[in-house]
Structure 1
């Protein structure tokens, strides 16, 4: 029996998936909150393994399935080869296995796939510009350091006196790996 399957994706955990396929009656939904820049997406893989000949995959819009022209073509072609119909609702495109696609639809698919990839490139470029501007303004990037330089000196001294990494990790509220990193570091000289 054929199934109506949905694939929903947003790029980050704080984004809402509610606007995608919300009013459809689907048998199974695969939803994930990861970037579409890669094919290494657990729910995408699960969906590809799940669908069978005669199933119908519904995707809100083309860029939800992928951000790379090659990836989009690969995914859609694999689905069609499995006998799965693919519908992109926002673009009003339907790809049916065994049926030659309309040349205009193929042109639009290619153009929209290129736009999705272009948009991803713009996002990446803006991120890099923002990071460079923040660094130039002297802002610290990344997670704040768990240990101060003074604490590192203390830890080196306590290690020399026989304290164990487990004890020190508990005392300083950090991981043992952090203690081992301090122990191995050459930058901090023990007092």
Structure 2
């Protein structure tokens, strides 16, 4: 499938970054810090599926000779099938894919070893996420059994939601509101669409 080498910057095309963070509070700048990229696409939402606007934009933007830099495999995809599909699709188009944390560069040159590495490392990342989810479920079940699990409490009270809606309606930038109220952009939109109890 692809040849794997140590991560190095290429000069045939552009160096493009893709960053995914799960909320507005996370610092996306640290993921690809110091690489001097030509352009970076950033999604601030869950990576549970492929429905990510900036990932789609990055995949469409990339051209033959470009290199896509991603902090780690789990930032690009949350399961092995999606990971292989993206990497294979890009390398077949002449785009190199660099995973900074793992120190791997996929170039599109045939190599059984690179195919094995992509599959094994992607499978380990997927397995690790499954273990984390299982531990979370077990912890919640134990807390419920002990009578101490209260569930996730709303981040904002009714008065705060009213204030948030008023300010958004007045044209304040939603990204700034999300930071001020310490909520993600997804949560902010949920609050804006939710009816309030009082006017």
Give the TM-score, by structure 2 length: 0.65
User: Which residue is 2:132 aligned to?
Assistant: 123
By how many angstroms is 1:19 displaced?
Answer: 2.7
Following the alignment from structure 1 to structure 2, what is the Cα–Cα distance between the partners of residues 10 and 115?
20
By how many angstroms is 1:138 displaced?
Answer: 4.4
- Partner of 1:58, secondary structure, is strand
By how many angstroms is 1:29 displaced?
Answer: 0.3
User: Which residue is 1:114 aligned to?
Assistant: 123
Structure 1: state its 5+ residue gaps.
148-173, 180-191
Which of 124, 148, 151 in structure 2 is aligned with 1:141? Answer: 151
RMSD: 2.5
- The reply on whether 1:8 has 2:8 as its aligned counterpart is no
Greater relative CO, 1 or 2 (CA 8 Å, sep 6+): 2
Q: Based on CA coordinates, which of the two structures has the bigger radius of gyration?
A: 1
Is the Cα contact below 8 Å between 1:4 and 1:58 reproduced in 2? Answer: yes
Figure out how many residues of one structure are paired with residues of the other and give that number.
149
The CA deviation string for residues 69-121 of structure 1, in whole angstroms up to 9 with x for no partner, is 10100010111122211111222221123x213x3332222111001101111
- The reply on whether 1:41 has 2:61 as its aligned counterpart is no
The CA deviation string for residues 129-160 of structure 1, in whole angstroms up to 9 with x for no partner, is 2332333324332446x89xxxxxxxxxxxxx
Give the TM-score, by structure 1 length: 0.67
Structure 2: state its 5+ residue gaps.
1-11, 159-193
Is the Cα contact below 8 Å between 1:69 and 1:114 reproduced in 2? Answer: yes
